[in-house]
Amino acid sequence: MATTLITVAPTGAEVSKRDAPALPVTLDELVVAAKECEAVGASVIHIHIRDDEAKPTLDLGRLKETTRAIREGTGLIVQLSSGGAVTDPEEHRLAVLDAAPDMASCTMGTVNFGDDVFMNRWAFIVELHTRMQSKGIVPEYEIFDLGHLAALERLLNKYGLPAGGHVHVDFVMGVPGGMPGTVEALVACKAALTNLPEGTTFSATGIGRTTLPVLMASLAAGGHLRVGMEDTVTYARSQPVESNAQLVARAASFARLAQRPPMAPADARRLLGIARG
């Protein structure tokens, strides 16, 4: 039976603990959230970490400690964010790879990001992709706009397949400045995958109120899912998210209804080409 890869993005770099008290910001909170999310159907965790003041950080020591703790406490695939916060310099974002995660995100182009700019120059993308190839880290290519898929085609044609040989992309939809979180945009992205290697898989996430339409559209289109408090802190109108597991459990229920139940981490490793068992 076909299954659904569910990625949880529990923290992100933008939401503040004050605005969302359930946001996991300490290592202990993150490990608890990871265990709860694994229990209800997640197989990948997309990680941003915070410092002692709950501000986003790319501190390498903390990233290594976090990677170790999630591996000790769960069977989840550890995907570190190389995107960080919009203020993070490129060298710090590249250094994330030195924490030796199973996966790292790799955003395929610059995008307006609310009032900010999330900068991803071509030369930076190439550096990230080729360093991941040499370190055996599997990328998840983050697609904020249709043109990012054309950039990915160019990247793979010029620099070859990623570590593990499998291409997996994540459509991040509904960011103010990126593509909208609509069925039409998702269908356009899916159509553009025909220019990428055969077998390319996709997941999708909708920011804020686009969470549910994007989730349902992705399932209907044969895609996988990403959910979490990085992307939405509202479960329903006037109802704050209680935990990341609440969002994963809802995604898993939709996936079961679609006859594509959650994928086990071991199957996700095989699909994504991750060597570590």
Site for ligand KMH in 140-199 (CB under 6 A): 142
Binder of Zn ion out of 57, 81, 82, 232 (CB under 5 A) = 81
- Nearest approach in angstroms of CB 58 to ligand KMH is 11
Tell me: does residue 83 bind ligand KMH (CB under 6 A): yes
Site string for ligand KMH, 11-50 (x = CB under 6 A): -xxx------------------------------------
Q: Which residue type sits at 112?
A: N
Tell me: does residue 94 bind ligand KMH (CB under 6 A): no
Tell me: does residue 107 bind ligand KMH (CB under 6 A): yes
d(CA 5, CA 39): 14
Q: Nearest residue by C-beta to Zn ion?
A: 81
Nearer Cβ to ligand KMH, position 125 or 252? 125
d(CA 204, CA 22): 23
Binder of ligand KMH out of 11, 70, 77, 113 (CB under 6 A) = 113
Tell me: does residue 103 bind ligand KMH (CB under 6 A): no
CB 135 within 8 A of CB 169: no
- Nearest approach in angstroms of CB 168 to ligand KMH is 14
Q: Nearest residue by C-beta to ligand KMH?
A: 83
Question: Two tokens at 99?
Answer: 């924490």
